[in-house]
A and B are shown apart, each in its own frame.
Chain A
Amino acid sequence: MHSQDDMQPEARLARSPKAGVAVLRGGMAIEGHAPVVGLPLRFLITGMLALGLGVGLLVLRPDLLATYHYNQYVIAVTHLFTLGGITTIIMGAMYQLVPVALETPLYSQRLARWQFVLHTVGFTGMVGMFWVWNLPQVGHFASILGLGVGLFVYNLARTLRQSPRRNAVTGGIASGLGWLVLTVLAGLYLAAAKCWTFSPFAPLAQMHAHAHLGVIGFFIMMILGVSFKLVPMFALSEVRSWRRAAWAIGLVNAGLAGLFVTILVGSLWKLAFAGLLIGGLAVYGGEINAILRARKRRQLDWGLRYFVTALAGLLPVAGLGVVLAWPRLPLTALTTQLENVYGFLALIGVVTFAILGMLYKIVPFLVWYHRYSREIGRQKVPALADLYSARLQALGYWLYLAGLLATGVATAFGHAPGVRWGCALLAASLAVFALNMGKIFSHLVRPKPSPLMVPMATPGIAGASHLTLTP
């Protein structure tokens, strides 16, 4: 299915070097696996805009978090965050990272381009129709989105099949794809159940089960899977135990499967499956901790700090999950608000924060690759860290943490002004993030290479060279 359109020009060049000038060979194919830059970037930029819009809406409508979550506006904004923001970014990142992580080219970039159109039309229509609570139209747009998800899953599944490796990375990604399909099916079922009364399950239970499938099954599972590749790569370390990594994926999968069913049917066993899931996350945390302790790159860059801090956020989320899964928990104003905090922390505190960290790795790479990859060896090119400001990263990090804390506390107590101030801090952090992204993207229009220092030497006799560097 690979057409010439699907191959990046650099890969073609590498396959047909000018005879007698430069020869590439090796024990492994040297051609690039990453797709062309425009494909992941269109997903990433769309997703970042949706996240910004979502936080902006929360600043304008803090009551969405300060009151109970079962209303059309909360559902609309939640889908703006989950489908428009997080899912779009994860899809773009997957198109970039999966070929890299699995060392195999993407099956088809053409399918991915079509999927982008279906996904964007689908999620914008869904959010709009949720807002005006037109459920038949929600179902129509969800079907368009679902078709796009089908293309996404098919494309990545075919890519996974091509991969020579089978480990916790492939297992995590494959699991995430499976959960994504189930999440979409559960969502379509929910919409249909609202239009025609046929479902034997309680509406709230259906919604909560659907939400857990999406957040844990797709978002968190994808983060777990790719982190076994990316964290060692960025920290100069290695996975310490592939067996432990596989156990983490397996336990989370088993816990989520049980949790989904027990939430749906309202069983008291949901606490046991929550425990199983948390056990998997604890095993995962143990492996990530071991990887980081063995790292050779002493100082973590800010991108990794965002990511690791987000993973630490799983602790309070898991704690809240246990409280909320407790059998016969009394239904009070506080416990219902804690459900809001639980969802907010999982989506914004863990998943979005981790994604911001990964975007600080992915976007500079994409821009660098597009602008400088052909200049390396010809001119002095900047490193990825030279493309953005570490100070802005630090400022954004602390603003985000402060925003999370303020919004979380205010949400718990249903305090709308506090939610507004907390979300304003989050918005400020995203503005700083956007500023840094602007610095990165500025390299696309104004590249900043400098002349290479070409070594001049007295040629000939090995070991007798007199080296000088001249610009």
Chain B
Amino acid sequence: MKPAASQPSRPTSEPATAAPGAATPSASTLEASSPSEATVLAALQQVIDPEIGCNIVDLGLIYGVAITPSKVTVKMTLTTAGCPMHESIANGVQMALLNLEGVDEVEVELVWEPPWNPAMMTEAGRAFVGWHD
């Protein structure tokens, strides 16, 4: 299966400029076309840290998600500064979100503060790496 995101931009059927007299999309229409936070997080769960094998949501790497019409901003970190996988993972986040309906632009903000620590993992993440308090 060729995934939709193999194209970097999602083709849109919307005309670039609305025709004169056409109805302007309402706020509720824009909101309805945007994915929810849960959908975004589910998409991010498809992205794994290849070294650990666990997805980046359960690893606690996602610090925040902001959704505006057609754009998603992800604030995230990595398990270690200088992580050799950082470029791949950040690109993976973009690609996974560009797969979603209603997302035309993705911004990945990579931050190192606060530094990641294993306590940020979800229960599922902790179970994955075999860490129990």
Chain A residues within CB distance 8 Å of chain B:
10-11, 14, 18, 20-28, 30-34, 100-103, 229, 232-234, 236, 296-299, 365, 368-369, 372-374, 376-386, 451-457, 459-465, 467, 469, 471
Contact = CB atoms under 8 A, between A and B. Distances in A.
B91 A377 contact: yes
Contact of A455 (B42, B109, B113): B42
A384 B43 contact: no
Contacts of B9: 18, 20-21
B129 to A, nearest CB: 5
Contacts of A22: 8, 94, 98, 105-108
A430 B6 CA distance: 40
Contact of B100 (A27, A32, A33, A455): A455
A463 B65 CA distance: 13
Nearest to B54: A383
A384 B53 contact: yes
B118 interface: yes
Contacts of B64: none
B86 A30 contact: yes
A145 to B, nearest CB: 29
A21 B39 contact: no
Contacts of A297: 52, 129-131
Given A376-B91, A376-B92, A377-B93, A452 B51 contact: no
A376 B91 CA distance: 7
A368 B33 contact: no
Given A365-B51, A376-B47, A471-B1, A457 B106 contact: no
B88 A469 contact: no
B36 A460 contact: yes
Q: Which of B36, B38, B48 has the most CB of A within 10 A?
A: B36
B87 A32 contact: yes
A467 B88 CA distance: 26
A100 to B, nearest CB: 5
A451 B129 contact: no
B46 interface: yes
> How would you classify the secondary structure of chain B's contact residues: helix, strand, loop or mixed?
mixed
A22 B42 CA distance: 19
B81 A103 contact: yes
A25 B46 contact: no
Interface of B: 1, 3-6, 8-9, 31-39, 42-43, 46-48, 50-53, 67, 79-102, 104-113, 118, 121, 126, 129-131
25 contacts: A14-B91, A21-B105, A22-B105, A23-B108, A24-B107, A27-B110, A103-B81, A236-B118, A297-B131, A365-B50, A369-B84, A378-B6, A378-B92, A378-B95, A384-B50, A384-B53, A451-B3, A452-B99, A455-B100, A457-B36, A457-B39, A457-B42, A460-B31, A460-B36, A469-B42
Contact of A374 (B83, B91, B98): B91
Contacts of A296: 118, 121, 126, 129, 131
B32 to A, nearest CB: 4
Nearest to A237: B118
Nearest to B107: A23
Closest 7 CB pairs of A and B: A377-B95, A376-B92, A26-B110, A298-B130, A377-B92, A383-B53, A296-B118
A460 B112 contact: no
Contacts of A454: 3-4, 43, 46, 99-100
A381 B49 CA distance: 10
Given A23-B106, A24-B90, A467 B39 contact: yes
A373 B83 contact: no
A69 to B, nearest CB: 39
Contacts of B43: 454-455
Contacts of B109: 25-26
A170 to B, nearest CB: 12
Nearest to B81: A103
B62 to A, nearest CB: 14
Nearest to B80: A233
A95 B57 CA distance: 31
Given A11-B87, A236-B131, A372-B88, 5 more contacts: A10-B91, A21-B8, A378-B95, A451-B1, A464-B36
B82 A455 contact: no
A21 B11 CA distance: 11
B112 A234 contact: no
A155 B113 CA distance: 31
Contacts of A25: 107-110
B53 A385 contact: yes
A373 B101 CA distance: 23
Given A457-B38, A460-B31, A299 B130 contact: yes
Contact of B35 (A32, A232, A372, A459): A459
A120 B35 CA distance: 56
A299 to B, nearest CB: 5
A215 to B, nearest CB: 28
A100 B82 contact: yes
Contacts of A376: 47-48, 50, 88-89, 91-92, 95
Contacts of A32: 84, 86-87
A461 B31 contact: yes
A433 to B, nearest CB: 20
Contacts of A24: 90, 94, 107-108, 110
Contacts of B42: 455, 457, 467, 469
A27 B108 contact: no
A27 B8 contact: no
